[in-house]
Amino acid sequence: MLMKKWIPALAALALVACNSQNKPSGQPVVAAATSGKPAETAATAMPDSATQAKNWMAYSEPGAEQKALAEANGRWDAEITMCMAPGTPEQKTSTVVENKMVLGGRYQMSTHKGKMMGMDFEGISTVGYDNHKKQYQSTWIDNMGTGITVMTGTWDEATKTINFAGKMMNPGTKMEEDVRETFTIIDKDHQLMQMYGKGPEGKEFRTMQIHYTRKR
């Protein structure tokens, strides 16, 4: 375990050493100047090796946000309500979701299985928290498409909600569309996801709602 912890630090040290070898002796390590732009000053020079090693460690270590994701480990029932367009009848279905933390407790990976529009459905999602960017990141893939949906979001403590935003492919139009998602922690056994897109007239409407209940 100790060896694994120091791999990021060693990588940072190697990077700094490489940069140092490529500059004349006595000159600070700075980014190369681009056409029409002055070179970086010493105040914005690359951090020293000790600082880079510290930054790598901070980036790689799971923290409070990753531990919060781990609280959802286990199997959940998902009750899904979908709406394809404003004013159209809602469709309902259900899936079973299994959450687990992977790669040393750094990311939540979830599998989703059930029926969707009368067909067998499988999906896989990942959620992580970028320690440096201070934001959540999620991906989604399923057996009804060939693309990957990527969203980023931030935590709202007042509502216990992660507010995600990103783009999703519309298979019918072959165009990406803006989407947003709210993921609310109701309590330790209940969660609520709501997804929103834009209708034909450009007005936002709720396309999907999922109530999650932890299996006992």
Residue 11 in this model has a pLDDT that exceeds 90: no
| Digit-coded pLDDT (tens) for 169-207 | 999 999 999 999 999 999 999 999 999 999 888 899 999
Selection from 68, 55, 77, 108 nearest residue 190 by Cα: 77
Cβ proximity of 157 and 178 under 8 Å = no
* Mean pLDDT across 90-115: 98
Given this model, what pLDDT does residue 165 score?
Answer: 98
Given this model, what pLDDT does residue 43 score?
Answer: 56
Domain positions in the chain are 78-214
CA–CA distance, 40 with 32 (Å, rounded to integer): 8
The DSSP output letter for 131 is T
| Digit-coded pLDDT (tens) for 56-75 | 999 999 999 999 999 999 99
Using alpha carbons, list the distances in angstroms from residue 174 to 86, 117, 147, 169.
20, 21, 11, 7
| Digit-coded pLDDT (tens) for 125-149 | 999 999 999 999 999 999 999 999 9
Using alpha carbons, list the distances in angstroms from residue 150 to 15, 30, 127, 145, 181.
29, 33, 10, 14, 11
**Which stretches within 83-204 are classed as H helix?**
none
| Other C-beta atoms lying within 10 Å of the C-beta of residue 80 | 20
* Mean pLDDT across 4-30: 42
